[in-house]
Chains A and B, each alone.
Chain A
Amino acid sequence: MLLGSELTWTLAFVVPYVVVFIAFVVYPVARGLWMARDPSLYRALLADPLYARTVVNTALYVGLGVNVKMFLALLLSGFFMRRRWWIRALLPVFMLPWALPSIPAFVSFHWMLIGEEGLVDRLLWVLFALPGPLWFNNRWLALAWNVVAAVWKWLPFWTLTFLAGRMAIPRDVYEAADVDGAGGARRFVHIVVPLLANLYLVCTLLDTLWTVGDFTTVSLVSEGAPAYSTNVLATLGFQYAFDAAQPALGVAAVMTALPVLVPVTVLLMRALHLRQVQL
């Protein structure tokens, strides 16, 4: 039951966010949908081989990127739980990719891979006397490096999230398992997995939404090369809008991801609504 004055207070507290939401979410989305309302835009997209290719790239980039990131983050969070001084000392260094801004990081990735002058090929030559390939001349290699760069940048963030999740598991649960003689693997399967399952799901869904919208990685690491074949929807929309001066087509291209994004968002809301884990 809300008293009159309490209602006023509550409204006062949410007003700033409601204003932001309406002015910068509802209105731009409505405007975007309005710009992309013409069905002929979608016929143009389907007729463009670049678009079909981009959809495949986006699915691979998101599917591989998110799952590799989450799985490694879950395992590494266990590694960082170990009580060794040198593992503790490593954690801040491991966090560096997250603290490093995207632009410098991805520009550096691009320069590491620009052929024989790049650090990766130089290392291959010095260490193994192997001539490295021209990474950005091959669609699959370039796509793979986009995924690697995204994993590099965001792995620390998710590792830290899972690490915090593991630290929230009370010590006595582990101790009880120790008394029962459960080793590392069984402890992982019977304690960590069930207790972190919902957190893992929430993080996977959230990162899926963020990765679908990722523009910076692809636009700086592979730059879409070779010949626009590694574009994802975010960069393709940008190219349609700004390089080809067809803003409506650009908006239509990205809006075709909505049939995937909306269900993922609904799943995320439901996962957050589950009472999380009863101990």
Chain B
Amino acid sequence: MTRPRPAGGKRWLRRLFLESASAALALALLVWSLTPVYNMLLIALDRDEGDIEFAGILWPPEPSLHSFHAVVTQSYWLVEDFWHQLGNSFFIALMTMGLTVSIGSLAAFAIGRMRFGRGWLLVNAPLLTYAVPASFLVIPFTRLMASYGLSNSLWAIVAANVTFATPYAILILRQYARLIPLELDEAARVDGASPVRVYRLIYLPLMAPALAAVGTFALLLAWNEYLYQYVLLSSTRNMTVAVAIAQFFNSDEAPWNYMMATALLYSLPPIAIFYALRRYMAAGLTRGALKS
């Protein structure tokens, strides 16, 4: 006996509808994700300094790499320290990443794996950090940095970033660590391994995907951060690229194509690192979230 035809036809229609709806959604997401980036490119490729004239066109008439050249060779006063400032941004981002991963993993290990973290306060203290957002603390933080002798220092920015990246790191690391059986630690301890050895030889290697996820999170947080850098770093030499981009707004005859070229170049390192570590991200983020 054959199936009645209408059902088969209906199924086929449903499939067609589903596939074309998916394709339309994919196209919409593509446009949504790329438009602001395209806009940056459009302005950066404009040869004219400053005004972009409305001509009803969506591509500069004479696209040129002139503005990128100007930024890379530092041949305009607003970009005269570009490479040095990019170095500062790198310093802050890498220090934030390294310190967040090490401080966060040590704390998560102690709280989650050492039969110590039953105390409500110790488990929850990291999250209390988010009760007062970073941007709310910038004023007391600035005064504090002055009394610690860290005004206008890159370390002040690193400290702020680590403070606000670590709670999330501890949260994710503790969730992920649920996948690693505690018996593994205990067996090693029975064999006489010290906590440091358990941490180094069992915890860290098995946690690698989560550490990569948390590290990327900290790195992107540092690269996204702008308020603390803007308030705390005053001298040109200690500025980061993020602050340098904001400086364009304070200048009267700012060449916007230079600003966009700077912004695009500033975007490349985190994008490269993000895509290099992307494989680990999904695995690390919530793999442990459904296990209990």
Measuring CB to CB, which residues of chain A are less than 8 angstroms from any residue of chain B? 2, 6-7, 9-10, 13-14, 16-17, 20-21, 23-25, 27-29, 31-32, 35, 76, 79, 82, 84, 86-87, 90, 92-105, 107-109, 111-112, 116-117, 119, 122-123, 125-126, 152, 160-161, 163-165, 167-169, 195, 199, 206, 209-210, 212-216, 219-220, 233-234, 237-238, 241-242, 247, 250-251, 254-255, 257-258, 261-262, 264-265, 268-269, 272, 275-279
Let me know if A111 and B22 touch, CB within 8 A: no
Most buried by A among B57, B287, B290: B290
Number of A-B residue pairs, CB cutoff 8 Å, is 278
Identify which of B60-68, B69-77, B131-139 touches chain A.
B131-139
B258 within 8 A of A: no
Let me know if A16 and B107 touch, CB within 8 A: yes
Let me know if A13 and B106 touch, CB within 8 A: yes
Least CB distance, B95 to chain A, in whole angstroms: 13
B227 within 8 A of A: yes
Let me know if A94 and B286 touch, CB within 8 A: no
Given contacts A93-B34, A111-B39, A160-B282, contact A265 B130 (CB under 8 A): yes
Let me know if B163 and A234 touch, CB within 8 A: no
Given contacts A108-B40, A213-B135, A216-B226, contact A25 B289 (CB under 8 A): no
Bound CA–CA A175/B114 (angstroms) = 39
Let me know if A24 and B141 touch, CB within 8 A: yes
Q: A165's contact among B140, B264, B286, by CB below 8 Å, is which?
A: B286
Let me know if B39 and A14 touch, CB within 8 A: no
B90 within 8 A of A: no
Let me know if B53 and A117 touch, CB within 8 A: yes
Bound CA–CA A256/B135 (angstroms) = 14
Let me know if B106 and A164 touch, CB within 8 A: no
Interface size class of B (residues with CB under 8 A): 35 or more
Let me know if B114 and A215 touch, CB within 8 A: no
Measuring CB to CB, which residues of chain B are less than 8 angstroms from any residue of chain A? 22-23, 25-26, 29-30, 32-40, 42-43, 51-54, 56-58, 102-104, 106-107, 109-111, 114-116, 122, 124-141, 143-144, 159-160, 162-163, 166, 168, 170-171, 194-196, 199, 220, 223-227, 231, 242, 245-246, 256, 259-260, 263-264, 266-267, 270-271, 274-275, 278, 281-283, 285-287, 289-292
Let me know if B103 and A16 touch, CB within 8 A: yes
Let me know if A10 and B116 touch, CB within 8 A: yes
Task: Give B55's nearest chain A residue, CB to CB.
Answer: A122
Bound CA–CA A265/B132 (angstroms) = 10
Let me know if B133 and A102 touch, CB within 8 A: no
A-B pairs with beta carbons under 8 Å apart, 28 shown: A13-B107, A14-B111, A17-B106, A25-B128, A31-B144, A32-B140, A93-B29, A94-B33, A99-B274, A100-B267, A101-B224, A111-B43, A152-B32, A160-B282, A160-B285, A161-B285, A164-B287, A168-B289, A213-B135, A216-B226, A237-B135, A238-B135, A241-B139, A251-B139, A255-B136, A261-B132, A269-B124, A276-B289
Bound CA–CA A258/B138 (angstroms) = 16
Task: Give A115's nearest chain B residue, CB to CB.
Answer: B54
Given contacts A14-B122, A79-B25, 9 further A-B contacts (CB under 8 A): A13-B114, A32-B140, A93-B29, A161-B285, A164-B285, A165-B286, A241-B138, A257-B136, A265-B131
Let me know if B256 and A111 touch, CB within 8 A: yes
Bound CA–CA A27/B145 (angstroms) = 11
Given contacts A20-B163, A164-B282, A250-B139, contact A9 B133 (CB under 8 A): no
Chain B residues within an 8 Å CB radius of A27: 144
Chain A residues within an 8 Å CB radius of B220: 98-99, 101
Most buried by B among A9, A206, A214: A9
| Interface of B (DSSP majority class) | helix
Let me know if B58 and A126 touch, CB within 8 A: yes
Least CB distance, A271 to chain B, in whole angstroms: 11
Bound CA–CA A72/B107 (angstroms) = 34
Chain A residues within an 8 Å CB radius of B289: 164-165, 168, 199, 276
Bound CA–CA A102/B230 (angstroms) = 14
Bound CA–CA A103/B267 (angstroms) = 9
Task: Give B174's nearest chain A residue, CB to CB.
Answer: A272
Let me know if B22 and A105 touch, CB within 8 A: no
